[in-house]
Every structure is written in C-alpha cells, then in structure tokens.
Structure 1
C-alpha cells in the first residue's frame, strides 16, 4: 500500500510541474525567490511580501497566465458554470467559486464545497487564447487532488469530536501568544488544499483503505447520513502516513522573528494531547509575512517540526 502511495505522490507532483498550475512547495518557492533576488533577506518594501493579517490572495499568479486570466474574467459566468458542472458530475458535489487565476493553458479555478462536506480545491478550465474562447468541455483536475480533498473532509466528519478538540486547542494559542493565522479570504482565494482553517490544513488520499469505503459511499450517494458514513469507516485499516495535519502560525508583530519558546509550547501541546485525531502532524511558526505571488509562508527563519521528525499519532 505504501508503494501505491509513493506512486500517487510522484504522479501528482509530476502533474503539478507539467501543468504550471500550482507550482512547487512553499519552501522551494521561498528559497528560489531568494536566490533570484541574490539575497537571504529580501527587502519587504519591494512588494514581494504582505502582512499575513491583510493578505487576501491579491498578487497571486501562475506562469504565463496574464492573457488567459484576462479572457477568463471576460467570460467569468462561462468559467464558473463549466467548473460547477464538472465537479457536480464527477464528484457529486455542489461548489462555490471564489477565485480564478490564469495559467499557461487556461485558468485555475479555486472553489469551496457546499453542504455537509467541507473542503477547498481547484480545477483547470482550458482557454484557447488565439480564439479567446473558454473550452467548457475540457475541464480537468490534478490527479488525486479533489479525491484527496474529499477524503480529508470526510475525516472531519468521521472524527468529529477529535477535530473539535484540535480546533479548540489551536484557537487558544492566538489568545495566549502574539501569533495569528491566515485570513479566510486568502484561504478561499488561493489555498485550494483540502480541509483548511486559518491555523491548519489536512490532506488525505482515496488510496487510504480506512477512508476508502466512506469515500465510495459518498460518491454513490452524497446525501448519505453522517451516521452511515461513520459506520463505513474502517478504523483498523488506518495508517497515519495517509493522513497529514499541517499546522501553521505567524508572528503577529511586523518585525518579530519566529519565537522558539512559543513554537516549543505549540509542539508540546500537540504532542501531549491524546484527544486529537490520529495522523501525522507538522508544526510551523513563521514571521509576519507571506509571499504575495504564491501565498507561501516558509522562509529561512521559519521554525518547523516536520518530516522526517514529524509528530505521529496512531
């Protein structure tokens, strides 16, 4: 099963690179940008960064998307309809479209699910630039992305009490320490990565044997009751490697560096709380800023507890 997981990850990564739609990881993007600038601490006055407290996704862009984004905005209703129709037909889910960002071959559409199942994801709508035409019949998604987002959302239903505990725990930190999370606008507009809150996002895969029956049941009948979805879950098949929780906090003050004591307190709280959902956890504390053109948070001064030293809860 782990071999199949490796294949999935490689396939998704390859699709991302080839499509030019979602770019590379936060850390890779951050390091790459700094190398291009020729400095380890770029001057924030140059407009590369924005406060996490005000960032809404403005300035986010994808390679070669200027013209396609312009066409997409002129045909917004058509793009939205094509995306909604595709997701409804393929994944039996109603959605709300929040944002459109041009890419080399079309437009990446950021959307949020509606109803009991809550997740964020993206779809790609092709555009013929020469004819300035939206190709409504050609909508597609990155392999495994929406499937994984659905599975992540299903986990929040299956493990409702544990996720309530996680939400309550993480919500206490900004009241105790000078730290903050992302804005809801930025989550809606540019963070199509599964089930997301201002403080964390979770990812899963439909290859996970524990959640797969729940996923299949949902696709067969999206109106299936939460009770029946919970009954379909195979807890004895659960593998923490298939379910990840990424926790991200930011320093609230503009000039503050990530605080080691605060970071250690968060890590300890996550490690010692036995009521949180089982899974693989990563914890990050960043300075006050995000990179505007890719929504990345990770920088050289970020503090992290992640792979291969992540927190594992069985």
Structure 2
C-alpha cells in the first residue's frame, strides 16, 4: 500500500526577507525602478535561475548525507514509483528536508509530468530508508491526471503552447528556465509558462485515469474515448499561467496582464478549464522558487478565466 503523508513546509515571508537585508552593500543588490532592492543572496534573475538556493527547513544534514549516497536515494525513488504507479522516472534533484530528502523527478513515459517523492534518512545510523519512501497526499495521482490531459488533448495544448510563445514575442515578458522546472518546481504537467492541476473530483478525466492505471499500455484512442466530456467541470481543472518581466528594471504591467487575459478569453482552441494569469517582475525568490511578490499583478481566484 502506498504510504502518503501531508508535509507542512515552512516558508519565510517576502516582507521578512526584504526587511532582513537593510544596509546591505549596494554591490550585492539589484535595484528596480521602484527603488526596491533585490539582494543577490535572496533573488536571482529568472533568466539564469535553475533552482540553486532552493531550501526546505531542517534539511542540511539529510541533504549532505543523501548526496554522498545519491545512488541509493535514486534507486529507492525509482523502485517505489515503479512498484506503486508503474511509472519510470528521471531524477533531477535532491533537496534535504527534516524527514529525509525531497526527490524531484520527471516521468519518462508517454504521459509526461513532474512530481516529488520523500525518501526518509536515518542520519544517526547512516542509512537510507529505502523501504519507507512516501509521497505527498494526492500529488502523484493529480500529476498523472494532468499528464493524461496533455496526452489525450495534444492539439489543444499545442495551441496553448503556441499562444504562450506568441505572448513572449509580442510583449517584453519571459517564462522560467527549463532547468528550474526540472530541479525545483515539480508541478504535474508543466511548461516554462504554466502548470495544470486536475484533482480527484474531476469526473471527466477520472475514467481515463482509472483505465491508464489498470493498463499503462492502453492505446491513445481508447484513453481518449474514456474521457467523459459531459461531466467536465472547469473548477476542478486549472491552468496557472505565470510570466516575468524581461527587463530587470521593469515593473509588472497591468496593460500586459489585460492583453493576456483578453487573448485567453477569445481563443476557442485551447483546453477547457479555469485559467489564472500572474505577471511578476524579473526576479525569483531563490529559497522558494517563487516569483510572487508585493508588486505581482494577477487575474485569478476567485475570478478565473473560465473556458468550458
């Protein structure tokens, strides 16, 4: 039986991070037009950020031990996921946490997604607890559902991807680096511009999920036929879009956000669902892999862009 637990991750607020850096040498900061300092030990350009500096509480010793026993950690992760979900994965990164290490991986089969697993470590006895690997509640299942959407609706997602790339050509905005997605994001079906979320209440995709879990080799046409479109409810399938300003000195533009929203509303060929849009300045908070700050502009919950 799969072991699943809820992991509470403590994060430091943006205001605390900013407040703790008063008086730093100006050579160690990036300053925006609004006068806000972006200390380099806390923030990094979205164009270069690959996940370095990402941190989970209390994981220093576990991470150091895991890096010395990386082969064991990787094998434990792959064996667990193969046994429990019959999926093959590529491990991208290992980050220490208070219970062991969080392993960031990418599926390597036809159903594509990112997710994590937790490998416990007994540092005192210098042992990787390979028989006790677990996952966050529902994370892998939701990621597989998202991957199935991407697989059976390839044409719609191609349209969405082309729309996202078009935005970066029409406006001075960019997405994340591929390396940061692989190393620290782990958000199901994910691209540099968005991630999707499908939960277990999504009755439209659940028959596809059940069929795939029973037989991962089920042909694509049968998976598509199992999709119960009449039961689709956009509140249970969400697409979270996030961009960054390309210019290090630029502030997020409401005009750009409004243009993105309008384009999404008018496009009838992208996947159905509830869309959110957020535009950050140029920088990522390294420890959290987050672009959200006080100056972030957005259009989202509860005012989603609904496509159904």
TM-score, normalised relative to structure 1: 0.89
Structure 2 CA distance for aligned equivalents of residues 45 and 161 of structure 1: 42
Q: Do the aligned partners of 1:29 and 1:296 also contact (CA within 8 Å) in 2? A: no
Match of 2:153 among 139, 159, 182: 159
In structure 2, do the counterparts of structure 1 residues 30 and 227 end up closer, same or farther at CA, with 3 Å as the change threshold? farther
Shift of 1:176: 1.5
CA RMSD in angstroms comes to: 1.9
> What's 1:134 paired with?
128
Aligned residues: 295
Does 2:274 correspond to 1:280?
yes
Does 2:78 correspond to 1:84?
yes
Give the SS at the match of 2:50.
coil
Q: Give the 4+ runs in structure 1 shifted more than 3 A.
A: 28-42
> What's 1:191 paired with?
185
Structure 2 CA distance for aligned equivalents of residues 151 and 31 of structure 1: 36
Q: Do the aligned partners of 1:34 and 1:41 also contact (CA within 8 Å) in 2? A: no
Match of 1:16 among 7, 14, 26: 7
Q: After the TM superposition, which residues 72-111 of structure 1 pair with which residues of structure 2 at under 5 Å, given as runs?
A: 72-111=66-105
Does 2:301 correspond to 1:307?
yes
Q: Do the aligned partners of 1:150 and 1:215 also contact (CA within 8 Å) in 2? A: yes
Shift of 1:158: 2.2
Q: Which runs of 5+ in 2 are unaligned?
A: 24-33
Shift of 1:282: 0.3
Give the SS at the match of 2:135.
coil
Structure 1 CA distance for aligned equivalents of residues 89 and 248 of structure 2: 35
> What's 2:14 paired with?
30
Does 2:248 correspond to 1:254?
yes
Q: Do the aligned partners of 1:206 and 1:215 also contact (CA within 8 Å) in 2? A: no
Deviations 1:83-140 (A, max 9, x none): 0011111111100000000000100000000121000000000001211211000000
Q: Which runs of 5+ in 1 are unaligned?
A: 1-11
Give the SS at the match of 1:195.
coil
TM-score, normalised relative to structure 2: 0.91
Bigger drift between 31-40 and 112-121 goes to 31-40
> What's 1:117 paired with?
111
Structure 2 CA distance for aligned equivalents of residues 33 and 194 of structure 1: 28
Bigger fraction of residues in helix? 1
Deviations 1:227-262 (A, max 9, x none): 111011111111111101000010011111012211
Q: Do the aligned partners of 1:182 and 1:198 also contact (CA within 8 Å) in 2? A: yes
Q: Do the aligned partners of 1:30 and 1:296 also contact (CA within 8 Å) in 2? A: no
Structure 1 CA distance for aligned equivalents of residues 153 and 36 of structure 2: 42
In structure 2, do the counterparts of structure 1 residues 68 and 256 end up closer, same or farther at CA, with 3 Å as the change threshold? same
Q: After the TM superposition, which residues 120-269 of structure 1 pair with which residues of structure 2 at under 5 Å, given as runs?
A: 120-269=114-263
Shift of 1:157: 1.7
Structure 1 CA distance for aligned equivalents of residues 302 and 35 of structure 2: 26
Q: Do the aligned partners of 2:14 and 2:293 also contact (CA within 8 Å) in 1? A: yes
